[in-house]
């Protein structure tokens, strides 16, 4: 029996993908390396991400409810998996590159510190004088520098398409990135990046609707007032909670694919990923409910504020006692400086590991 070689997969991409899709045959890396006989460049990116310790740690990092509070809440890991499968399906429907889409989706939250966005704010404040902190920039730093299984100094050496896609959004002034990603050298991001971005939003508003009800932040009667909920119930009046949320997810995904396909056909030279105006408004309504009743609820904020204090405590401890950093982190001290190395070290921790470290610090200095 014949087997499919990498070149065959690349040919398939050339024949079948949309003209604005990324082609793995044209992928470039900072450090050139021999091709793989079986996998395309983007498939290798995906595999390197999945095999990295930074990816495994996402299972114990907070999405909204602290990762150790219950077995059924989403963690960054399950969130990333949900985004990945949704984005892959949409990429397939639109003729975009599924493997690149998957790699971007699995990597998109790698740079999140413990305790979600409040963790990010705490580190950004602490690093004010040293280039700041933001999760997207940190994600690139992890794959470019911190994860370095082959000790080449090029990290996971992912393709430039994946790295550029991970960098979307604001970057603090002075944040240390590889030269090719500096603002003057920055090239446009692939369309697959914008697709993952949309799917990220659809994934979290839908799963946070589920987790918010599960956590008792609001009830089903509150959710039933949402236009999206009513739309889903029109389709299936007898749907229970989980079926309704699953219908909402499908509604948003079908709308994303149909609206984008239409936009690509009408404006072939200005490709954009789009949702219909009506569903943008209805998604905003759901997001507003989540922000008021869930993200800013006492229950969530109390745990997060405590997490924030612990991040400060750990960071200050490692800046004062860099000899207590891990061996690998200590090797970066000379090049990166004590503040950035301590920040990387704390940002890489899972929620529960940070708690353990701070307990140790407090016990040692009590």
Interface residue list for Mg ion (CB under 5 A): 109, 200
Q: How far is the CB of 207 from Mg ion (least distance, A)?
A: 10
Q: What's the burial of 68, exposed, middle or buried (CB within 10 Å: 0-12/13-18/19+)?
A: middle
Nearest to 275 by CA among 265, 266, 262: 262
Q: How far is the CB of 158 from Mg ion (least distance, A)?
A: 18
State which residue has the least CB distance to Mg ion.
200
In whole angstroms, give the CA distance from residue 90 to residue 84: 10
Residue with Cβ nearer Mg ion (120 or 200)? 200
Residue with Cβ nearer Mg ion (17 or 206)? 206
Residue with Cβ nearer Mg ion (115 or 315)? 115
Residue with Cβ nearer Mg ion (13 or 197)? 197
DSSP 25-74: GG--BSS--PPPSSS-HHHHHHHHHHTSHHHHGGGGSBSSS-TTS-TTS-
The angle that helices 241-266 and 76-94 make with each other, rounded to 10 degrees, is 40
Residue with Cβ nearer Mg ion (205 or 358)? 205
Q: How far is the CB of 166 from Mg ion (least distance, A)?
A: 11
Q: How far is the CB of 109 from Mg ion (least distance, A)?
A: 5
Q: How far is the CB of 83 from Mg ion (least distance, A)?
A: 6
Both tokens of 125, joined, read: 């404040």
In whole angstroms, give the CA distance from residue 272 to residue 195: 9
Residue with Cβ nearer Mg ion (196 or 361)? 196
In whole angstroms, give the CA distance from residue 315 to residue 346: 6
Both tokens of 182, joined, read: 């500096």
In whole angstroms, give the CA distance from residue 112 to residue 92: 28
Locus of tokens 């609707």: 209
Residue with Cβ nearer Mg ion (208 or 336)? 208
In whole angstroms, give the CA distance from residue 22 to residue 68: 38
Nearest to 231 by CA among 254, 265, 258: 254
């Amino acid at each position: 029996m014949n087997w499919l070689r990498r070149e065959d997969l690349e040919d398939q991409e050339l024949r079948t993908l949309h003209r604005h899709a990324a082609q793995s045959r044209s992928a470039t890396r900072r450090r050139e390396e021999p091709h793989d006989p079986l996998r395309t460049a983007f498939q290798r990116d995906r595999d390197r991400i999945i095999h990295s310790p930074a990816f495994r740690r996402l299972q114990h990092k907070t999405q909204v409810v602290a990762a150790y509070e219950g077995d059924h809440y989403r963690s960054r890991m399950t969130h990333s998996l949900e985004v990945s499968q949704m984005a892959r399906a949409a990429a397939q429907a639109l003729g975009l590159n599924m493997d690149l889409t998957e790699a971007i989706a699995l990597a998109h939250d790698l740079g999140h510190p413990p305790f979600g966005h409040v963790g990010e704010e705490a580190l950004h404040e602490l690093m004010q004088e040293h280039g700041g902190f933001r999760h997207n920039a940190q994600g690139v730093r992890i794959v470019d520098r911190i994860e370095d299984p082959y000790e080449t100094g090029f990290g996971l050496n992912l393709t430039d398409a994946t790295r550029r896609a991970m960098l979307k959004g604001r970057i603090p002034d002075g944040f240390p990135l590889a030269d090719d990603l500096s603002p003057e050298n920055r090239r446009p991001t692939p369309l697959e990046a914008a697709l993952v971005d949309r799917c990220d939003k659809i994934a979290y508003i839908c799963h946070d609707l589920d987790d918010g009800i599960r956590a008792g932040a609001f009830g089903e009667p509150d959710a039933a007032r949402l236009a999206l909920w009513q739309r889903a119930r029109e389709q299936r009046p007898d749907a229970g909670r989980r079926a309704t949320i699953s219908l909402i997810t499908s509604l948003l995904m079908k709308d994303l694919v149909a609206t984008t396909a239409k936009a690509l056909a009408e404006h072939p030279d200005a490709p954009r990923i789009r949702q219909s105006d009506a569903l943008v408004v209805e998604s905003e309504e759901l997001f507003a409910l989540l922000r008021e009743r869930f993200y800013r609820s006492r229950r969530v904020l109390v745990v997060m504020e405590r997490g924030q204090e612990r991040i400060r405590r750990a960071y200050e401890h490692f800046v004062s006692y860099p000899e207590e950093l891990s061996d690998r982190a200590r090797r970066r001290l000379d090049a990166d400086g004590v503040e950035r190395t301590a920040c990387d070290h704390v940002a890489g921790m899972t929620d529960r590991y940070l708690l353990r470290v701070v307990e140790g610090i407090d016990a040692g200095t009590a």
